[in-house]
C-alpha cells in the first residue's frame, strides 16, 4: 500500500466532524428537509443540501467530484418512484445509482459514504433519521482519504517511459 495510507477507524481523530453533501430534489426531498425544519426536528449540522430540480439531474460525475474534493459522504435523494414531479425522472436515478453505488463500492469506497434514498415532501422525520444515521456512520469510519485530488498520488512516468523505450527497441531490432 502506498504512503498515503487509508486511515482506518482506529486513527479517526477524536473530534472529527464529517461533512456530507446532500443532493436533494426540489419537489420532494428539499421539501422534506424544509418540513424537518418547520417541525424543528433536530439533526447534526454536518449536512449541506444542494438543490436540484430532480434527482435525475444528479450526474454521478458530480458525486465523484465531491469525493475528489474531499467530501466525507454523499446522499442523493429524491421523490419515491411513482411520485416524481417529472413522472419518470427518479426511475432513471434508480437505474443509474443502482449501478454507480455498486461501482463505487467496487472501487473501494466504503458504501457507508454514499447513499441514495427516497424521501418525500411529507417525510421530514425520515430526512432527519436518514441524515442522522449517515452522519453517525461516517463519523465512525473517519474522514474520506480516497479519491482525493489534494493527496497528489502522482504517476510514476519513469516505468512507462522505460517500457515504451523497450518496445521501440524491439521494433527497431526487427525492422
Residue from 3, 10, 14, 106 that binds another protein (CB under 8 A)?
A: 106
Contacts for 77 with CB less than 8 Å, ≥ 6 apart:
22, 23, 24, 25, 28, 29, 32, 55, 116, 117, 118, 119, 127, 130
Q: Which parts of 73-92 interact with another protein (CB under 8 A)? A: 80-82, 84-89, 91-92
Residue from 28, 109, 135, 138 that binds another protein (CB under 8 A)?
A: 109
* CA-to-CA separations, 51 to 3, 7, 25, 31, 48, in angstroms, rounded: 37, 31, 6, 10, 10
* 19 makes contact with another protein (CB under 8 A): yes
* 125 makes contact with another protein (CB under 8 A): no
Of the candidates 23, 26, 9, which has an alpha carbon nearest to the alpha carbon of residue 121?
26
Residue from 11, 133, 136, 149 that binds another protein (CB under 8 A)?
A: 149
* 9 makes contact with another protein (CB under 8 A): no
> How far apart are CB 54 and another protein at their closest, in Å?
4
> How far apart are CB 50 and another protein at their closest, in Å?
5
Cβ distance to another protein smaller for residue 140 or 160? 160
- 148 contacts 5 by C-beta, under 8 angstroms: no
* 41 makes contact with another protein (CB under 8 A): yes
Q: What is the CA radius of gyration of the chain?
A: 21
Amino acid at each position: 500500500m502506498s504512503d498515503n495510507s487509508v486511515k482506518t477507524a482506529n486513527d479517526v481523530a477524536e473530534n472529527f466532524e464529517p461533512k456530507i453533501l446532500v443532493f436533494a430534489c426540489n419537489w420532494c426531498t428539499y421539501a422534506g428537509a424544509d418540513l424537518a425544519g418547520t417541525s424543528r426536528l433536530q439533526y447534526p449540522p454536518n449536512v449541506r443540501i444542494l438543490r436540484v430540480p430532480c434527482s435525475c439531474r444528479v450526474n454521478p460525475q458530480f458525486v465523484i467530484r465531491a469525493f475528489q474534493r474531499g467530501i466525507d459522504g454523499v446522499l442523493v435523494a429524491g421523490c419515491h418512484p411513482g411520485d416524481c414531479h417529472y413522472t419518470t425522472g427518479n426511475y432513471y436515478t434508480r437505474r443509474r445509482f443502482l449501478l454507480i453505488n455498486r461501482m463505487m463500492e467496487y472501487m473501494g469506497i466504503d458504501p457507508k459514504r454514499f447513499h441514495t434514498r427516497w424521501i418525500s415532501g411529507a417525510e421530514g422525520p425520515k430526512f432527519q433519521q436518514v441524515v442522522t444515521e449517515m452522519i453517525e456512520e461516517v463519523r465512525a469510519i473517519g474522514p474520506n482519504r480516497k479519491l482525493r485530488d489534494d493527496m497528489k498520488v502522482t504517476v510514476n512516468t519513469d516505468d512507462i517511459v522505460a517500457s515504451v523505450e523497450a518496445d521501440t527497441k524491439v521494433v527497431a531490432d526487427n525492422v
